């Protein structure tokens, strides 16, 4: 007990934070003094391949000639075996006599001890003084993964190796390679050469976001890329030297367009043309569950299992539309013969059959959570991506689970506010949100939670065209997830993490990693302060030890601009600039925002019918001072009905002469702009306290009606602004009546359907 208390005291002290180790170790004691590192380190190793592997790695990481093998007595660094330590656990002791790392002989502990040791060295040097520490450490989860999608956009082998190095630094141990998809087949299969000849090439790629252009636009640039088996074996060995397992994924039965382009006989036929896809979507062309297909897939898996010693083989299983199977005579006959009730059961049958093959080779399958539908294969491990529901269900069925829910683990989501970021798929998943994730759902009993074997970040590649962009999306979020994966939840603290993260940016830079630097920019939020009846801008920073300085309107931001101390009141719209400073030096880029501040800002309103969705600031999104942009769906307020009435209460009678709002057009999402907007005003008696929309007796008088004209030749998802002016008059209540876009016109996606209506930011002047 005394020992625990002493440790706890040390844990909370500033010294541990100064160590800046990520992920945070389980138990750290720092003592006074230091160990002066010699120019040449003598290393003492126990006998065995694993210790030598760790030595070889360290030898590569340190300058040439720095390491020598030595007798135990004189050693700078000693690796010690201890059978009783669990796999991956280690002890690292730095004393006046030298460095000792203890692990069980499987060796991962030595490797992780070395990683911690390397992080104790000042960034970019191998000399100086190490703090005297005793670290006792072990991971929270045995599965600590990251997924690279090299199928959508191929990434060179060198980028995979670079990523493996970074994973090793942060103690991740599973690299999931998404090797096949509709847009490309990236693994050489010698028995089926057309997979590369045909499947690894596409003639062009969509421009912009899948949801943006109608019709789609293309870059007209041919792209190709695949890894030879030799290259893949090199990756596997490189990863193994870093105690990382490479888990291959071969998608089935869906996401198979590239394979079917090469071997169309594996499809249900149906007269379709099978091509390597040049845009991103979920496609109806899937493998047909016939003997020829299974023979093919087994042949592919034979070679896959030969290249990848991983116990787990990922067989995909997500997003498999059943349209082709419903129409296919073979599929329907098979369902009857096997007594399968529906196509979900057929997918389950498909996965069971493939699992049998994999299990017969001494391996196990992982599948995306759709493999639960129609019944789980007996040994399957589930990757829960559509939230946690699939993972929870699988754990209850006593199947192993890897949590990778979109809301916390999808690194293809925006990592900065979308207005500040290069294009991403959707969402907003900044580093603090990743960090906050706890993969053990409270709905599960402790017994069931034991089936959650780990967590994985998924870096989907639709919009990742280059290694630099891959790194921008992966980092520094990978560091946050490493702590979700490794560190006990009671030890996690974002403020402390941020302090350590700050020290890791120079390390990432030294490794040539182009991390996102949003951490070095202030956050800016506009908030209506109901008490003060004013709109305020709140500035904050994730980054520690900084000053926030800001400038309003035309003034320039410099190191002597006003220091942010408390929320800044805005009475009208003006650009606001802010940046972070440390010791007089600006840390990151300037950030600029314009908030819509006007007579409607912060005012309550009532919508009839209620919005279909309103992601941010529910109930206040239309007057929250933030104008929605086409790429950021969170700020729009959307309705599924054709007629929408919105009544605002300005809470005092004021003179009005103009209203503006915007209406969104995203044809691929069946969102069309309003075809008519009318404005009515009501002057209630002074002192009326009727809530907005509750004032049925208010006498509204229509003051304007507009049928806007839109330019649909833009062919891009667009925010259409609408301005309606009217003769100045006094009013307290404003009623907007909007008619939706009307049925989708002929020739457009979802033609004839009633579209959604999405609007934002009602502004009154
Ligand atoms: C997935 O994101 N379709 C697994
Ligand atoms: Zn079929």
For residue 316, give the ligand 1 atom closest to its CA: 4
Both tokens assigned to 360:
């017969």
CA distance 205 to 711: 26
By annotation, the residues acting in catalysis are 181, 255, 319
Assess whether pLDDT exceeds 80 at residue 14: no
Assess whether pLDDT exceeds 50 at residue 10: no
pLDDT tens digits, 721-742 = 999 999 999 999 999 999 999 9
DSSP structural state of residue 35: E
CA distance 242 to 111: 7
| Contact call for residues 728 and 655 (beta carbons, < 8 A) | yes
Residue 460 CA to its chain's centroid (Å): 8
Q: Write down the pLDDT at residue 7.
A: 41
Q: Where in the chain is the domain with CATH 2.60.40?
A: 521-594
Name the percent of the chain lying above pLDDT 90: 89
* Residue 642 CB less than 6 A away from ligand 1: no
Domain 521-594 fold is: Immunoglobulin-like (2.60.40)
Mutate to test the pocket of ligand 1, among 383, 460, 462, 463 (most ligand atoms within 8 A of CB): 460
Query: In this structure, what are the phi and psi dihedrals at residue 468, rounded to the nearest 5 degrees?
Result: -65, -40
Distance from the CA of 329 to the center of ligand 2, in angstroms? 7
CA distance 620 to 638: 13
| Contact call for residues 153 and 461 (beta carbons, < 8 A) | yes
Q: Where in the chain is the domain with CATH 3.20.20.80?
A: 143-510
* Average pLDDT of the segment spanning 158-180: 98
Q: Write down the pLDDT at residue 470.
A: 98
* Residue 420 CB less than 6 A away from ligand 1: no
CA distance 550 to 304: 56
Q: Write down the pLDDT at residue 16.
A: 60
Q: What is the mean pLDDT of the chain?
A: 94
Q: Write down the pLDDT at residue 685.
A: 55
At residue 555 the predicted structure's pLDDT band, cuts being 50, 70 and 90, is: confident
Domain 143-510 fold is: TIM Barrel (3.20.20)
* Residue 368 CB less than 6 A away from ligand 1: yes
pLDDT tens digits, 657-667 = 999 999 999 99
For residue 410, give the ligand 1 atom closest to its CA: 2
Closest CA to 103 of 54, 145, 70, 146: 54
At residue 212 the predicted structure's pLDDT band, cuts being 50, 70 and 90, is: confident
Closest CA to 162 of 568, 515, 641, 419: 515
For residue 383, give the ligand 1 atom closest to its CA: 4
* Residue 364 CB less than 6 A away from ligand 1: no
Write the burial class of residue 105 (CB in 10 Å: 0-12 exposed, 13-18 middle, 19+ buried).
middle
Mutate to test the pocket of ligand 1, among 249, 256, 319 (most ligand atoms within 8 A of CB): 319
* Average pLDDT of the segment spanning 344-357: 97
Q: Where in the chain is the domain with CATH 3.30.379.10?
A: 16-137
> Which ligand has the minimum distance to the alpha carbon of residue 290?
2
Q: Where in the chain is the domain with CATH 2.60.120.1190?
A: 605-764
Out of 187-201, 426-440, 477-491, 700-714, least confident range = 700-714
Q: Write down the pLDDT at residue 437.
A: 98
Assess whether pLDDT exceeds 50 at residue 117: yes
* Residue 385 CB less than 6 A away from ligand 1: yes
Residues with Cβ within 8 Å of 409's Cβ and at least 6 positions away in sequence, in order, are 385, 403, 434, 437, 455, 456, 457, 458, 481
Distance from the CA of 323 to the center of ligand 2, in angstroms? 10
Name which residue sits closest to atom 2 of ligand 1, judged by CA.
385
> Which ligand has the minimum distance to the alpha carbon of residue 426?
1
Name the percent of the chain lying above pLDDT 70: 96
| Contact call for residues 681 and 729 (beta carbons, < 8 A) | yes
Assess whether pLDDT exceeds 50 at residue 425: yes
Distance from the CA of 360 to the center of ligand 2, in angstroms? 26
Query: In this structure, what are the phi and psi dihedrals at residue 674, rounded to the nearest 5 degrees?
Result: -65, 135
Does the domain at 605-764 match CATH 3.90.870.30? Answer given as no
Does the domain at 16-137 match CATH 3.40.50.10860? Answer given as no
Assess whether pLDDT exceeds 70 at residue 231: yes
Q: Write down the pLDDT at residue 698.
A: 66
* Average pLDDT of the segment spanning 682-708: 71
Query: In this structure, what are the phi and psi dihedrals at residue 262, rounded to the nearest 5 degrees?
Result: -75, -40
Most confidently modeled range among 7-21, 257-271, 688-702: 257-271
* Residue 509 CB less than 6 A away from ligand 1: no
Distance from the CA of 581 to the center of ligand 2, in angstroms? 62
Distance from the CA of 267 to the center of ligand 2, in angstroms? 6
Q: Write down the pLDDT at residue 230.
A: 98
DSSP structural state of residue 206: B
Q: Write down the pLDDT at residue 70.
A: 82
CA distance 635 to 590: 23
Write the burial class of residue 391 (CB in 10 Å: 0-12 exposed, 13-18 middle, 19+ buried).
buried
Name which residue sits closest to atom 3 of ligand 1, judged by CA.
318
Q: Write down the pLDDT at residue 1.
A: 35
Assess whether pLDDT exceeds 70 at residue 8: no
Instruction: Give strand pairing partners of 680.
Output: 702, 735
CA distance 232 to 225: 13
pLDDT tens digits, 573-591 = 999 999 999 999 999 999 9
Q: Write down the pLDDT at residue 52.
A: 97
For residue 460, give the ligand 1 atom closest to its CA: 2
Q: Write down the pLDDT at residue 128.
A: 87
> Which ligand has the minimum distance to the alpha carbon of residue 329?
2
Angle between helices 494-510 and 477-486 (to 10 degrees): 130
> Which ligand has the minimum distance to the alpha carbon of residue 322?
2
Q: Write down the pLDDT at residue 39.
A: 93
């Amino acid at each position: 007990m005394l020992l625990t208390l002493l440790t706890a005291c040390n844990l909370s002290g500033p010294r541990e934070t100064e160590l800046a180790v990520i992920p945070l170790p389980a138990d750290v004691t720092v003592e006074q003094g230091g160990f002066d590192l010699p120019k040449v380190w003598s290393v003492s190793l126990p006998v065995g391949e694993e210790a030598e592997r760790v030595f070889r790695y360290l030898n590569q990481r340190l300058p040439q000639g720095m390491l020598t093998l030595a007798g135990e007595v004189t050693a700078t660094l000693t690796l010690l075996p201890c059978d009783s330590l669990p796999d991956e656990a280690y002890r690292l002791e730095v004393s006046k006599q030298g460095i000792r790392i203890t692990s069980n002989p499987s060796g991962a502990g030595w490797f992780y001890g070395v990683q911690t040791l390397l992080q104790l060295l000042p960034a970019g040097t191998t000399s100086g003084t190490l703090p005297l520490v005793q670290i006792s450490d072990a991971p929270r989860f045995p599965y600590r993964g990251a997924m690279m999608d090299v199928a959508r956009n191929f990434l060179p082998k060198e980028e995979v190796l670079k990523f493996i190095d970074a994973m090793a630094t942060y103690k991740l141990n599973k690299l999931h390679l998404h090797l096949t998809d509709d847009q490309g087949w990236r693994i050489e299969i010698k028995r089926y050469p057309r997979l590369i000849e045909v499947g690894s090439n596409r003639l062009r790629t969509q421009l912009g976001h899948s949801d943006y252009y109608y019709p789609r636009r293309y870059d007209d640039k041919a792209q190709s890329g695949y890894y030879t088996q030799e290259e893949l074996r090199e990756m596997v060995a490189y990863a193994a030297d870093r105690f990382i397992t490479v888990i291959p994924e071969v998608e089935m039965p869906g996401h198979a367009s590239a394979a079917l382009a090469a071997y169309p006989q594996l499809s249900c036929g149906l007269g379709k043309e099978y091509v390597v896809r040049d845009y991103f979507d979920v496609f109806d062309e899937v493998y047909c569950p016939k003997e020829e297909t299974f023979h093919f897939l087994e042949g592919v898996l034979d070679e896959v299992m030969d290249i990848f010693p991983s116990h787990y083989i990922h067989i995909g299983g997500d997003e498999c539309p059943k349209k082709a199977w419903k129409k296919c005579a073979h599929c329907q006959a098979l369902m009857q013969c096997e007594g399968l009730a529906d196509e979900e059961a057929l997918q389950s049958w498909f996965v069971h059959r493939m699992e049998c093959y994999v299990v017969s080779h001494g391996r196990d399958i992982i599948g995306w959570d759709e493999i639960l539908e129609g019944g789980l294969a007996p040994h399957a491990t589930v990757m829960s991506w559509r939230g946690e529901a699939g993972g929870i269900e699988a754990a209850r069925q006593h199947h192993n689970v890897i949590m990778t829910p979109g809301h916390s683990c999808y690194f293809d989501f925006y990592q900065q506010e979308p207005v500040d970021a290069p294009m991403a798929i959707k969402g907003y998943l900044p580093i603090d949100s990743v960090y906050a994730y706890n993969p053990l759902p409270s709905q599960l009993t402790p017994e069931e939670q034991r089936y959650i074997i780990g967590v994985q970040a998924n870096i989907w590649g639709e919009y990742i065209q280059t290694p630099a962009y891959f790194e921008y999306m992966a980092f520094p979020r990978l560091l946050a997830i490493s702590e979700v994966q490794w560190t006990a939840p009671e030890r996690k603290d974002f403020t402390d993490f941020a302090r350590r993260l700050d020290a890791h940016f120079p390390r990432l830079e030294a490794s040539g990693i182009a991390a996102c630097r949003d951490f070095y920019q202030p956050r800016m939020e506009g908030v209506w302060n109901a008490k003060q009846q004013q709109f305020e801008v709140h500035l904050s920073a994730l980054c520690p030890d900084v000053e926030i300085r800001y400038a309003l309107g035309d003034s320039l931001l410099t190191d002597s601009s006003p220091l942010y101390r408390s929320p800044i009141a805005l009475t009208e719209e003006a650009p606001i600039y802010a940046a972070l400073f440390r010791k007089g030096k600006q840390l990151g880029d300037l950030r600029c925002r314009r908030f819509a501040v006007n007579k409607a800002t912060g005012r309550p309103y009532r919508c009839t019918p209620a919005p279909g969705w309103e992601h941010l600031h529910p109930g206040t999104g239309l007057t929250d001072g933030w104008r929605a942009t086409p790429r950021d769906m969170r700020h729009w307020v959307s309705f599924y009905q054709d007629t929408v009435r919105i009544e605002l209460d300005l809470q005092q009678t004021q003179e009005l002469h103009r209203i503006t709002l915007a209406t969104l057009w995203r044809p691929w999402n069946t969102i069309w702009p309003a075809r008519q907007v009318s404005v009515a005003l009501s002057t209630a008696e002074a002192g009326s306290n009727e809530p907005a929309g509750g004032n049925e007796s208010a006498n509204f008088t229509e003051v304007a009606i507009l049928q806007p004209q839109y330019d649909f030749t833009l062919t891009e998802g667009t925010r259409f602004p609408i301005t309606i002016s009217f003769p100045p008059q006094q009013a307290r209540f404003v009623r907007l009546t909007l008619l939706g876009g009307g049925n989708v016109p002929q020739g457009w996606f979802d033609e004839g359907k009633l579209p959604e209506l999405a609007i934002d930011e009602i502004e009154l002047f």
